Amino acid sequence: MGISYGPLPASIVLEQAFSSRIKRLYCSWMLNIDLEFVSRLVTAAPERTARSLGYSRGKPAADSFLSVHHDVGKEMEESLEIRSFEFDQLPSATQFASQIESSNIPAVFKGCIKDWKAFSNWNPTEGGLDYLQERLGTSVVEAMLSRTAPIFYGDIRRHERVALPFSTFIGLCKQHKQKMYDGCDDYVEPELHRQVDSNLESPSLLSGDVAPQQLYLAQAPIMSAENEETVQLETLKEDIATPAFLETKKLAAINLWMNNAKSKSSAHYDPHHNLLCIVAGCKQVVLWPPAASPMLYPMSVYGEASNHSSISLENPDFSIYPRAEHSGEYSQKVILHAGDALFIPEGWFHQVDSDDLTIAVNFWWRSSIMSSLSEHMDAYYLRRILRRMMDREMVCISL
75 lies in a domain? no
5 lies in a domain? no
| 76-81 contacts, C-beta under 8 A, 24 or more apart | 76/289, 76/291, 76/292, 76/330, 80/105, 80/289, 80/332, 81/105, 81/332
According to the model, what pLDDT value does residue 159 have?
Answer: 61
Do 219 and 247 sit in the same domain of this protein?
yes
Overall number of domains in the chain: 2
Q: Across the 399 residues of the chain, what is the mean pLDDT of every consecutive 10-residue run?
A: 42 42 47 41 35 36 37 56 92 95 96 96 95 90 80 66 89 85 50 36 45 81 89 94 96 95 91 97 96 89 81 86 90 96 97 94 91 81 79 66
78 lies in a domain? no
| Nearest to 118, CA basis, from 360, 382, 399 | 360
Residues forming a β-bridge with 268: 308, 350
| Nearest to 360, CA basis, from 175, 211, 220, 234 | 220
Do 128 and 43 sit in the same domain of this protein?
no
How far apart, in whole angstroms, are the C-alpha atoms of residue 248 and residue 301?
32
Do 174 and 298 sit in the same domain of this protein?
yes
Do 239 and 335 sit in the same domain of this protein?
yes
Domain harbouring 290, CATH code = 2.60.120.650
Do 171 and 269 sit in the same domain of this protein?
yes
179 lies in a domain? yes
Do 193 and 148 sit in the same domain of this protein?
yes
275 lies in a domain? yes
Do 214 and 143 sit in the same domain of this protein?
yes
Range of the domain at 37: 10-68+375-398
Do 361 and 387 sit in the same domain of this protein?
no
According to the model, what pLDDT value does residue 181 have?
Answer: 72
Do 331 and 381 sit in the same domain of this protein?
no
76 lies in a domain? no
Do 310 and 381 sit in the same domain of this protein?
no
CB 350: neighbour CB atoms within 10 A?
A: 21
Do 154 and 171 sit in the same domain of this protein?
yes
380 lies in a domain? yes
74 lies in a domain? no
According to the model, what pLDDT value does residue 256 have?
Answer: 97
According to the model, what pLDDT value does residue 154 have?
Answer: 66
Do 123 and 255 sit in the same domain of this protein?
yes
